[in-house]
Structure 1
């Protein structure tokens, strides 16, 4: 069965075909299983010729398909052609800017992780679980995280794929506040942070250090200033031309390589690769830590 979007030009003939109670009942019967015209006529208590006429109208707009199948002789059997119809109430030819989805992700809503001490999860008012204990990353309260840090490892998220059926992704944009992770803090402490989307590496940013000593604008007062305070807002982007970090091309991986139209989810993982040159850990900031009032933001442009 198909799941396709239908255009503005498709609306009138389809609406005409559906503006009949008998044809609605035929679609309902065919949604259960294929039928031939005799079977439909019998269930609807209608003459064969009347039923055949209704079937023909549904065939004309591709709401059903009819095939010749062997049986008691060759017979025509009809089946439903769509299990979902989406009609866009606009003229596609007049659209120039395309469409955009925005998803705001709390940093604690990760699906998987690997954390090497020193590590921890911090809420707005206190640590979540024990410090330097990777088991804290699996506490139910992790969803309230406002700061996540580890000396080595990664963190992975999966989002629902909300790109409408039949539409094609043009660009995906990912932003988050990040920095390296050193004991306490250290301004000169490089770390190679790599973002992968649907298992495709899209680029590595080398964080120059772990920033502290000056309180982040959102960092709560109880958090000591000799600890990490804020990060830098980094932006990854993938489109038809390749992958970019802060608008500088870093990879030939394109939007088609991410297979965004084929999967029911969008997975992204950020962390330190096993073969990273600079393994200086990672801090990931939420809405109430650091300098930027956001968690992870994902924007998807599609057409």
Structure 2
């Protein structure tokens, strides 16, 4: 839920403006059940593509939706997804924070800070200055320099991270979100190189994404100048979300795993594993991007949304 009030008037105005026309409200309604590209939205609403595109910009500026450029048969297409299921406007100054307000605990985990790994060639890692280790030598993945990685690639295996779960005692966790940029790993690059990439939380596989390829048809927006044109350039930003009913990937259900199965409150840490199962149909490897590579300026982002029973009781 997005909580808005007089404590952040600029954000309140921006979101209110984004919701002030029927066209933009209709776009959010369409994105309730599935992600759509701009042309699909225009067709469903019977509006010009240019009109939809301008409204998408307003919704994106208000952070009500996310957009991502994905490969299409002719160039690229902009795919839209909704960020929030609920928006709450708190306009009562005396009770501007409602009981049960949703808090957000966020961890920004650099991709090089993995705690365990198992890899097989092709494999390696680099940062803005150059290669960190020798390519295709799995033993090098245990070198202390791995913490500086901004892009990591491996053909088989996994990377595992320990993330702190520093939420207050008694917190009622509502959802867990994990966001990262990734793609397959092929020699050099290959647009058609599927890979079944799985994500585990505390030993439970929450779902699998089939990456369509290892993308190198253009340079990644953030890649340093020294990075070779013939190498992997960018991935897709994928967001996994687990709540009390299901697990979704980019807002589409991928499994029936729920928060209750993850035992998030039983440990001060969360164990995140990203990799390819040995029996995966498409063992096409993994590229994982940090802030300085690819298209999205972020590391692995974990968001835990929770409520506290006492919120609002003394207002």
TM-score by length of 2: 0.66
Shift of 1:139: 1.3
Counterpart of 2:279 in structure 1 is: 275
Distance in 2 (CA, whole Å) between partners of 1:151 and 1:254 is 30
Match of 2:131 among 123, 127, 134: 127
Bigger radius of gyration, 1 or 2?
1
Counterpart of 1:239 in structure 2 is: 243
Task: Structure 1: state its 5+ residue gaps.
Answer: 1-90
Contact 2:123/2:154 (<8 A) preserved? yes
1:153 aligns with 2:152: no
> What's the CA shift string for 1:24-46, capped at 9, x where partnerless?
xxxxxxxxxxxxxxxxxxxxxxx
Return structure 1 stretches of 4+ with deviation > 4 angstroms: none
Counterpart of 1:186 in structure 2 is: 190
Contact 1:121/1:136 (<8 A) preserved? no
Shift of 1:96: 4.0
Distance in 2 (CA, whole Å) between partners of 1:131 and 1:220 is 18
1:249 aligns with 2:283: no
Contact 1:168/1:261 (<8 A) preserved? no
Counterpart of 2:106 in structure 1 is: 102
Counterpart of 1:168 in structure 2 is: 172
1:214 aligns with 2:218: yes
Match of 1:298 among 281, 302, 305: 302
Indicate the larger mover: 163-172 or 293-302.
163-172
Contact 2:193/2:212 (<8 A) preserved? yes
Distance in 1 (CA, whole Å) between partners of 2:123 and 2:288 is 12
Contact 2:202/2:270 (<8 A) preserved? yes
1:200 aligns with 2:198: no
Contact 2:180/2:238 (<8 A) preserved? yes
How many pairs were matched up?
214
Distance in 1 (CA, whole Å) between partners of 2:300 and 2:253 is 21
Shift of 1:275: 1.3
> What's the CA shift string for 1:166-211, capped at 9, x where partnerless?
1121100000000000000000000000000011111100000000
SS in 2 for 1:229: coil
TM-score by length of 1: 0.69
Match of 1:140 among 141, 144, 164: 144
SS in 2 for 1:230: coil
SS in 2 for 1:261: helix
Distance in 1 (CA, whole Å) between partners of 2:305 and 2:123 is 35
The residue correspondences of 1:16-31 to structure 2 (distance < 5 A) are none
Contact 2:191/2:217 (<8 A) preserved? no
Task: Structure 2: state its 5+ residue gaps.
Answer: 1-94, 308-315
Counterpart of 1:116 in structure 2 is: 120
Match of 2:230 among 222, 226, 229: 226
